[in-house]
Amino acid sequence: MILDRILEKTRKRVAQLPARFPEPPAKKPASMVEAIRNRGGKNAIIAEIKCASPSRGVIRRNVDMAMMAGVLARSGCTGLSVLTEPYFFGGTEQDIARVKSAVDLPVLRKDFIIDERQIAQSRALGADAVLLIAAVLKDDLPRFVDLALDSHLEPLVEVHTLDEAESALATKATLIGINNRNLATLGIDRSTTREISRQIRRQRKVIVSESGMRNAEDIQEMKEYCDAFLIGSSIMSHEQPEKKLEEFVCA
């Protein structure tokens, strides 16, 4: 299974991390939650700067992270997601700093977080938020949510099933991401967001629908079920990423 292969590589990466990291920048982190809630009537889009993925291979080559961040920020995204996993997604940890140097928007570090040191590392890199995957962390999820909050990082807890949603709701996380992609099969089904969102909405959490948005019609179909969308491949594979993002923002 692809997730097992990714986690095996991640464990090897994490084994090389130091015990401590430099103090993070003194600047107050930008809030993804506030950015989503104050989107000014337009669709809240977290644009993902993604160079590759296991399902699509190479998506975009030779990406200038700072320049792309600026382009997407000017096109109206609410925040940015930066993939730092190198083997399957073509990212690097340094990409966080490159993006933060170019924009004031909240930046999510998207990786496979399995070790406490990755939380400290994320803050030291300058991230404002961090992805925590319920299917990966399982019983450790509440502890990692608390660690993120203690480190002044907003945790985006990703779920794919009703049971995972219950686990996420039992934590202090405000941001809940519903991944329409099955990490075991890599298949996408947008009905996942429809099926799970009602359970999360009752708890007044902020819902982010992840994966599977291809055009304005998809946004129009799904936006009653969530507060924001995390979109990567459809934007990054387009000849004019800024135009594709504008389509989603204004749908």
Catalytic site residues?
Answer: 48, 50, 110, 158, 179, 210-211
Please report, to the nearest 10 degrees, the dihedral formed by the alpha carbons of residues 142, 206, 44, 163 taken in order: 60
Angle between helices 141-150 and 116-125 (to 10 degrees): 30
Radius of gyration over alpha carbons of the chain, in Å?
Answer: 16
Complete DSSP assignment for 76-112:
T-SEEEEE--HHHH---THHHHHHHTT--S-EEEES-
State the pairing for strand pair 154-159/79-83: unpaired
**Of 184, 186, 208, which is closest to residue 37 (Cα–Cα)?**
208
Burial of 220 (0-12, 13-18, 19+ CB in 10 A): exposed
Q: What tokens were used for 113? A: 């977080």
> Rounded to an integer, what distance in angstroms lies between the CA atom of residue 219 and that of residue 249?
9
Q: In this structure, are residues 102 and 69 in contact, taking their beta carbons and an 8 Å threshold? A: yes
Residues 6 or more apart whose Cβ sits within 8 Å of residue 163? none
Other C-beta atoms lying within 10 Å of the C-beta of residue 218 = 18
